[in-house]
């Protein structure tokens, strides 16, 4: 069960990384709901989410290894 949660969080982190790369080329495509779309907002939104998901992935990996 924990493996599936970790895998989901990893895929969400990878999706955020892909969206970040796409948003650096076309910010309006990734921030269509915002009034102003620029590269800085793309980095803030998707970069933050990417970091949160990757930190959560590695912390769950550490938690799983220490509590076997």
pLDDT in tens, 27-57: 999 999 989 899 999 999 999 999 999 999 9
Q: What's the pLDDT at 45?
A: 96
Distance CA 30, CA 28 (A): 6
Q: Residue 57: what pLDDT?
A: 95
Q: How far apart are the first and last CA of the chain?
A: 13
**Overall domain count for the chain:** 1
Domain boundaries, position 62? 2-66
pTM surpassing 0.75?
A: yes
Q: Which two tokens stand for residue 30?
A: 């990734």
38: left (phi over 0), alpha (psi -120 to 50) or beta: beta
According to the model, what pLDDT value does residue 39 have? 95
């Amino acid at each position: 069960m924990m493996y599936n949660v970790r895998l989901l969080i990893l895929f969400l982190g990878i999706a955020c990384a892909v969206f970040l790369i796409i948003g650096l080329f076309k910010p309006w495509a990734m921030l269509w709901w915002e009034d102003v779309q620029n590269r800085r907002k793309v980095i803030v939104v998707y970069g933050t989410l990417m970091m949160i998901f990757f930190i959560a992935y590695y912390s769950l990996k550490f938690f799983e290894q220490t509590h076997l």
